[in-house]
């Protein structure tokens, strides 16, 4: 079976519940986000960027790898530890804790990309099917996939509780998901994986939710594909394509 990894808002002891369990959304009003110190200490102590890389080094080394093997340089337990760390320590606006993650291994991972191929082939022109099919086969040949969802329930509750910011909460929910995506992409590559981030929503949403029992109100945001690299990533764009720092960064002292 797949692993479901998430926690509820303002929860007591139970940190992870199956997707089909009702979630009591209790929004802490005007309180800062507080994580239990023992949990923070435990996870920060156990999670290191492959024990040798600094965070900045890992960020600089993060790339998109598409030529992947269905092999892992680390035990599954280590992967799950990293994903749980993301759930436990990464920030969300107003402590929404709206991120919901699904980790797919083996046949579940392959099934996802079969669903994607079938959904895509239903509407793309015939002449695009060969190239698109080859691309999806590359994802299927990887080791695993993480699905990133956002739960709309805590977002709606925050909109009701903080009406002046109501129109901003969906945008801030996207920020929460982006933080989780970037962290996991970087952390997994620091462990020796290659990874790439995909976006096949909405064409796969309904089938994915049906296949893995995901709440219909969850929004599928992205899919992180990872495995052992077969070959190096392509060259980075030349630095001359970057905008000058004078245009993108200002300092006031």
Gap between the Cα atoms of 11 and 49, Å rounded? 28
Residue 50 is predicted with a pLDDT of 60
- Show the low-confidence residues of the chain (pLDDT under 50): 1-47
CATH class of 3-7+36-248: alpha beta
HSE value, Cβ hemisphere, 13 Å, CA-based, for 30: 0
Instruction: Say what the pTM is.
Output: 0.79
Residue 199 is predicted with a pLDDT of 98
HSE value, Cβ hemisphere, 13 Å, CA-based, for 232: 4
H or E stretch including 247?
helix 245-248
Gap between the Cα atoms of 205 and 19, Å rounded? 15
**Residue 151 in contact with residue 98, Cβ under 8 Å?**
yes
Convert the pLDDT of each residue in 161-194 to its tens digit.
999 999 999 999 999 999 999 999 999 999 999 9
Residue 227 is predicted with a pLDDT of 99
Convert the pLDDT of each residue in 217-240 to its tens digit.
999 999 999 999 999 987 766 555
Could you tell me what percent of the chain has a pLDDT over 90? 74
Gap between the Cα atoms of 152 and 161, Å rounded? 14
Phi, psi of 109 (to 5 degrees): -60, -45
Residue 52 is predicted with a pLDDT of 67
Residue 234 is predicted with a pLDDT of 73
């Amino acid at each position: 079976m797949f692993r479901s990894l998430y926690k509820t808002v303002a929860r007591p002891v139970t940190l992870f519940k199956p997707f089909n369990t009702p979630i009591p959304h209790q929004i802490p009003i005007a309180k800062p986000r507080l994580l239990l110190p023992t949990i923070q200490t435990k996870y920060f102590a156990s999670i290191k960027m492959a024990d040798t890389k600094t965070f900045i080094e890992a960020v600089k080394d993060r790339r998109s790898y598409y030529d992947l093997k269905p092999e892992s340089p680390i035990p599954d337990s280590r992967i799950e530890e990293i994903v749980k760390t993301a759930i436990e320590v990464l920030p969300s606006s107003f402590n929404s804790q709206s991120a919901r993650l699904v980790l797919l291994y083996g046949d579940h991972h392959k099934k996802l990309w079969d669903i994607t191929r079938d959904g895509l082939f239903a509407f793309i022109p015939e002449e695009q099917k060969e190239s698109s099919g080859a691309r999806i086969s590359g994802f299927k040949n990887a080791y695993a996939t993480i699905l990133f969802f956002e739960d709309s329930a805590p977002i709606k509750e925050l909109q009701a509780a903080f009406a002046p910011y109501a129109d901003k909460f969906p945008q801030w929910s996207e920020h929460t998901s982006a933080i989780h995506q970037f962290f996991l992409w970087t952390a997994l590559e620091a462990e020796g994986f290659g990874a790439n981030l995909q976006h096949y929503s909405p064409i796969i949403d309904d089938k994915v939710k049906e296949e893995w029992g995901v709440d219909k109100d969850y929004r599928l945001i992205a899919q992180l594909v990872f495995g052992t690299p077969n070959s190096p990533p392509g060259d980075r764009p030349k630095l001359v394509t970057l905008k000058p720092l004078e245009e993108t960064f200002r300092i006031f002292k």
